[in-house]
Amino acid sequence: QVQLVESGGGLVQAGGSLRLSCAAAGRTSSSQTMGWFRLAPGKEREFVAAFRFRWGVGITEYADSAKGRFTISRDRAKNTMYLQMNSLKCEDTAVYYCAAKDRPGDVDVIDSYEYWGQGTQVTVSS
């Protein structure tokens, strides 16, 4: 089992920044893909960004809504993943979830992730 704990959410004004963290414990592995997803009021959970290591190189993928504003990173030594969010918009308001998986395949497929955190609330005010 893998335990994931998110932190760093909060209230921020539009245009501001936040950095989310996801601490992983348990049966962690650098070969696991880790990702961020979010759930906004009245919407379905959606992919935000993902990070995986391949031959020691970090590979990142982003949803179109996150490209150019969000940066995902991962510290293997600390078993922690981050999501730096800049130029935040009101529509970024959501609960952000950290997820991890051992399974191969597309990183934006929600059901492919085996492990999930409890989520952290991000609220962007105008």
The residue written with tokens 């600390």 in the block is 78
d(CA 69, CA 89): 10
CA 70 to chain centroid: 10
Q: What is the mean pLDDT of the chain?
A: 95
For residue 32, give the nearest of 107, 96, 108 by alpha carbon. Answer: 107
Q: pLDDT tens digits for 38-83?
A: 999 999 999 999 999 888 899 999 999 999 999 999 998 999 999 9
Task: Extract the tokens encoding 19.
Answer: 């950095």
The band of 14, judged by pLDDT with boundaries at 50, 70 and 90, is very high
